[in-house]
Amino acid sequence: MMQGYRWGYHNGFGPSNCQERPINNLDFFIPYSRNQIVSSPSCKVTPNKSAVSTSGSSFSEISSPTRVYEAALILIRHGESLWNEKNLFTGCVDVPLTKKGVEEAIEAGKRISNIPVDMIFTSALIRAQMTAMLAMTQQRRKKVPIIMHNENEQARVWSQIHSEDTIKQSIPVIAAWQLNERMYGELQGLNKQETADRFGKEKVHEWRRSYDIPPPNGESLEMCAERAVAYFKDEIEPQLLSGKNVMIAAHGNSLRSIIMYLDKLTSQEVISLELSTGIPMLYIFKEGKFIRRGSPIAPTEAGVYAYTRVCNFLSSLSLIIMNLCKCFHPTGSIYLLLLHKA
């Protein structure tokens, strides 16, 4: 359990309050010992009225800091949806959460309840928005997440908040189509097993797990990454630079794309990356770099990012050793070959 972690954070939407924010209920963060507490530099900040320009509302009129020691980035894949449960290709079809998905979202919120979230980004799809809003019901600060409506001028005016005190007790939620799930084209709505039987397992696996091959009239992971990463760089990263703690509730492929950017993964590494539903992952944004702190799920569960990379590393290492063994004895690599295939 983490104790005594020093956070330079932006409290609400007014001037920054540099305070110590102990986080002691998150079992998945890498802890600092008490003699390793990071000291925050000077808390002098310069007001920046454009720091939340993505909201397009009165939120942007409240000044916010441009220099903060570090910020938190939380990534959450939406909870289980009704089509996840039915084993259907969902893509950009707007499907809500199951009862299990609701419970996953609430549990995710409990795990991040001590992190003062300042801003939320979700996709335009209801399952991601439900996950974000349900998770925020567990926040200890009891701030209210509010979906910003920027579709047109009338929507902005009608949803405007006219109380600065109320704004300070609110968290803006930005819904962006760029964070939507990968569009699966003609596969959307089809049963995954029936699709494999119809087109062949290899072809369906190629559509789902290759980097640059799209399904019929759909998006490849590469195409999904182009829009998701561009949006992250343009709209989300500036919020982290201004010192805001940001949560992104989105989808397996849009989040894989963002993680590819954060951790500098190759196209081969990202296709083996799996993310479980309703599991939060934490990054610390510090001095222009993203430091991944981890995920709370156990090593035996599907979707553990760190273990995906370790398995790839061990697989490559076994091939190297196997080839070295062949140099000394032609049959000496048989056991390592079996290990590699296992």
Closest C-alpha to 121, from 248, 227, 236: 248
Give buried/exposed letters for 239-275 (b at 16+ CB in 10 A, else e): bbbbbbbbbbbbbbbbbbbbbbbbeebeeebbbebeb
Residues in the chain: 342
- What H or E segment, with its residue span, contains residue 226? helix 221-231
Q: Which of the following is catalytic: 104, 181, 219, 251? A: 181
Confirm if 270 and 256 have CB atoms less than 8 A apart. yes
CB 181 within 8 A of CB 251: yes
3-state DSSP call for residue 65? coil
Q: Specify the 3-state DSSP secondary structure of 145.
A: strand
Interhelix angle 192-199/201-209, rounded to 10 degrees, is: 120
**Rounded (to 5) percent helix, strand, coil in the chain:** 40, 15, 45
The span from the first CA to the last CA of the chain, in angstroms, equals: 35
Per the annotation, the verdict on 78 as an active-site residue is yes
In 3-state terms, what secondary structure has residue 174? Answer: strand
Q: What does the alpha-carbon distance between residue 295 and residue 276 come to, in Å, rounded to a whole number?
A: 10
Token pair belonging to 10? 């932006």
The one catalytic residue in 70, 78, 80, 104 is 78
Sign of the CA dihedral with 29 first, then 146, 240, and 13 last:
negative
* Alpha-carbon distance values, 132 to 76, 108, 136, 209, 241 (Å): 8, 9, 6, 27, 22
What residues are labeled active site? 78, 181
